[in-house]
Amino acid sequence: MLESLETAMFYVLVMACTLSMLLYWVWIGTKNELVGRSATFLTVIAVIANAIAIVLRMITSGHPPLSNGYEFLLTFCLGIMAVYLFAEFRYKLRALGAFVIPVPFLLLMFIIMSMGPEERIAQAVPPALKSQWLTFHVVTAMFAYGAFAVSFGIGIMYLLKLSKEDNGKKSNSKGIVSRFPSLDVLDELSYKVVGFAFPLLTLCIITGAIWANYAWGTYWSWDPKETWSLITWIIYAAYLHARLMYGWKGKRAAWMAVFGFVAVLFTFFGVNYFLPGLHSYAS
């Protein structure tokens, strides 16, 4: 019964996420308020369905959703959409949804297209996963990665708007980009989001090291996951350092936000699905 309900919630999540993405795209083209509110409403439904699916998985399996790639992807989607909704309501930046919501949509399509039903079944927890430190590790990763996805969307918006203005088309001209906030607002918001996510990523790495020592007897073994997590941390550390010490803003900062999230995606997919290592259980 609970397994069927979880499956139903998953497909509610997929439908709500897909429709909200399409409506965000329609909204930035039409600025129709009803369409915009519907997009936001469907994103809220997607978050609720995502959270229910995760809770049901926890109830049926008896452990946090950490035993396979399907569960990790669900938490990744939840983190992205939850942080996005906070940004939309806090900063009144609905246009951002057109660039952020496609990320969880693609993650969900990856689940549907590459994972059969047998790969979505709750599995017994491997001994290495039986630690509260892993729970803290994954929760901090979920919100850090979610925030980095938001900064990625803001960076794309900034580069699109800058490109239009560099081509002589002012921000007050008609068109989709004209509905974006000013370049200064986008730049400052991206900085705030990365500033929020970076300490979480730091905690993610620290708690992961403590868990690794508990599971494997060493804090750091240069496993591919650990290495790419460190690379991602260095990219965002360089972003913050360059901004604070050298005044890096604008185009360079936007590109760093974009490349940083590419590193996040590789840290997740490249390691979990393509590189052998201690974290290969997540596939």
Say what the pLDDT of residue 100 is: 95
Same domain, 141 and 272: yes
Same domain, 262 and 135: yes
pLDDT classification of 247: cutoffs 50, 70, 90: confident
Cα separation, 152 vs 99, in Å, equals 8
Cα separation, 28 vs 88, in Å, equals 14
Is it the case that residue 58 has pLDDT exceeding 80? yes
Same domain, 58 and 78: yes
Is it the case that residue 155 has pLDDT exceeding 90? yes
Same domain, 136 and 73: no
| Boundary of a domain, candidates 95, 110, 125 | 125
Residues 6+ apart with CB under 8 A from 198: 144, 233, 236, 237, 240
Same domain, 73 and 164: no
pLDDT classification of 279: cutoffs 50, 70, 90: low
Same domain, 97 and 165: no
Predicted TM-score (pTM) of this structure: 0.86
Residue type (1 letter), 39:
A
Count of structural domains within the chain: 2
| Boundary of a domain, candidates 84, 101, 125 | 125
Same domain, 153 and 88: no
Same domain, 274 and 158: yes
Lowest-pLDDT range, 46-50, 100-104, 144-148, 166-170?
166-170
Residues 6+ apart with CB under 8 A from 256: 155, 235, 238, 239, 242, 248
Say what the pLDDT of residue 272 is: 63
Lowest-pLDDT range, 56-65, 141-150, 199-208?
56-65
215 vs 13, more confident: 13
Helices 132-166 & 102-114 angle (0-180, nearest 10):
120
Q: Which domain holds residue 27?
A: 1-125
Average pLDDT, rounded, for the chain: 85
pLDDT classification of 281: cutoffs 50, 70, 90: very low
Cβ-contact 142, 78 below 8 angstroms: yes
pLDDT classification of 208: cutoffs 50, 70, 90: confident
155 vs 128, more confident: 155
Same domain, 163 and 268: yes
62 vs 259, more confident: 259
Cβ-contact 150, 246 below 8 angstroms: no
Please, what sign has the CA dihedral across residues 17, 122, 139, 260? negative
Is it the case that residue 218 has pLDDT exceeding 50? yes
Cα separation, 178 vs 181, in Å, equals 8
Same domain, 184 and 87: no
Is it the case that residue 171 has pLDDT exceeding 50? no
| Boundary of a domain, candidates 101, 125, 149 | 125
Cα separation, 239 vs 248, in Å, equals 8
Same domain, 157 and 273: yes
Is it the case that residue 229 has pLDDT exceeding 90? no
Same domain, 58 and 118: yes
